[in-house]
Amino acid sequence: MATPPSLRIESLRLALAAAEIGQHPVEVHGALVGLICGGVDQQGDLWIKPLFDLMNDGQPLPAPLHQLVCELFQDSITRLVDFEFGFTPLLPEEEEPLSQRVEALSLWTQSFLTGIAIIQPKLNQASDEVREVIKDLAEIAQVEFDVVDDEESETAYVELLEFVRIAAIMCYSEFGPEPSLEEGDDPAVIH
């Protein structure tokens, strides 16, 4: 069974506090997903240096935090690659006040954009659709925190969240690794 976002956020928050790293857990996840969607090399641990640069001025992370980040990395890749697992940004659950969720979405989006920009120097050569999505994400990252907790605002938040989710998947499709052929899927073999 999957760990609920609130427990994952809390585990990450505690590990960040113990390591004296002043980032919000959603920022860590946003940067990590940005690196992945920007096309960071997923083989081995080459992905970790750019994350260390973003999180801890290039310094290694303490073992417990390092382990949590590695698990988050693998989980994020799995969710981006396989639609059955359903990728979604790691954000507070709907029980939290809307203003906190909006602020967390903004932080996640800012960190996502930073991660993708660091690893993807050719953003200006991306497809028109992805460039437009990146521009829209930059606007979402600047969303105001003075939110009225009503049904209309809740609906707007859900729509923004879905846009961010789909935008990350689009970026991964554009910049991520080419899908590998499964064994037996050799296109040169005619059955």
Give the per-residue pLDDT at 189: 40
Say what the pLDDT of residue 183 is. 43
CA distances from 96 to 64, 149, 154, 161 (A): 27, 11, 12, 15
Q: Which residues contact 76 (CB under 8 A, 6 or more apart)?
A: 29, 32, 33, 36, 87
Q: pLDDT (tens digit, 0 to 9) for every residue of the chain, 191 residues total? A: 456 677 889 999 999 999 999 999 999 999 999 999 999 988 888 888 888 888 888 888 999 999 999 999 999 999 998 877 789 999 999 889 998 999 999 999 999 999 999 988 777 788 999 999 999 999 989 876 667 888 888 999 999 999 999 999 999 999 988 765 444 444 444 43
pLDDT the model gives residue 187: 40
Asked whether 100 and 5 are in contact (CB, 8 A), the reply is no
Predicted pLDDT at 190: 42
pLDDT for the residue numbered 145? 61
Q: In this predicted structure, what is the pLDDT of residue 42?
A: 85
Q: Is 61 exposed, middle or buried (0-12, 13-18, 19+ CB in 10 A)?
A: buried
pLDDT at position 191 is 37
CA angle 170, 31, 38 (to 5 degrees): 40
